[in-house]
Amino acid sequence: MNNSDQIFKTEFRAMGTDVSVDIILEKKDVAQEAFSEIKKIFDKNEKIFSRFRTDSELSKINQNIGKEMKISSEMLEVLEFCLKFNKISEGYFDPRVIGNLERIGYDKDFRSNNLNGPEDQEIFLEKIEDDLADDLIIDKERKTVMAKKRIDTTGIAKGYTVDEAAGYLKNKGFQNFIVDAGGDMFAEGANEEGQNWRIGIEGLEDDRLMLKLKNQGIATSGISRKRWTIGDKKFHHLVNPKDPEKFSFDIKTVTVIEEKTVEADGRAKVLVLMGKEKGLAFADRNDLKALFLDYRGNVYLSKKMKENLVN
């Protein structure tokens, strides 16, 4: 970095969350051009992946169950990630939970709607046991998909979009920046002080614990924000496909660091669903960098995550 380098920042809303981009460089006009392009990337992907827009590409797939459809390159990549995460997580990651999400009231945008219900209702949730690959058939060469059941890709769409934005900046020659979409982030190079980017954990004081990032993605998944009550029953947006009737409230958040934000995003959700003990064992067995935070303020780290602690 040069002594004349400054930090330039933009903020906007997209994909149901607050997005911010920090770029460290010498000229403001160069940053402004990049900010404009990044907003276009987020707007484009919102039109592809939103399940609350009837005109989105995801909605069109769900409106044409059992039919082969041409899809965008972005959708193709995300669907491939869905198949990958489903396989490596032993079925804990599954985009077919969309029906269960709707049955518990999450059939509209959380931020602008009240999902709480006044009385108990009979809610029957579907346990998903069959192979995702049987219901989601992709032809990479022809860029088509045939979905035999409805799906929800929004669980990893933000992380994917953060990576696309970061890829744009890297291709344009930017060396020091951070892209943040509601806690899903990618950090490249160094901050304005020439050091690794430092990331705090929501719910923890920075003097207690911070993480350092360089050329890495980070994602946090949890139940602290999207939770609601129908009668006496408590729900949140992370539905366990293996045991959909069980809504655990032990783990507040799980944070994962990976080479790509989308990789961290998919794994963080899985570890929340697994719970602390099984999740930590899974993280250590697979060399994942993971941090678990419970509602009592206790922090549990996988062995590999210790590499990213700020000393």
Distance CA 107, CA 102 (A): 5
Q: Which pLDDT score is estimated for 89? A: 94
- What is the number of structural domains in the chain? 1
**Which pLDDT value is given to residue 104?**
74
pLDDT at 107: 63
Tell me the mean pLDDT per 10 residues along the chain, length 311.
Answer: 75 95 87 96 97 94 97 98 95 90 69 63 79 96 97 94 98 96 96 94 90 97 67 67 74 94 96 92 97 93 97 81
What the block records as the tokens of 277 is 């003990």
pTM given for the model: 0.91
What's the CATH code of the domain at 133? Answer: 3.10.520.10
Quick one: pLDDT at residue 228? 46
State the sign of the Cα–Cα–Cα–Cα dihedral 160, 162, 167, 168. positive
With a CB cutoff of 8 Å and minimum separation 6, the contacts of 178 are: 21, 22, 185, 186, 187, 188, 191, 197, 213
What range defines the domain where residue 153 resides?
1-311
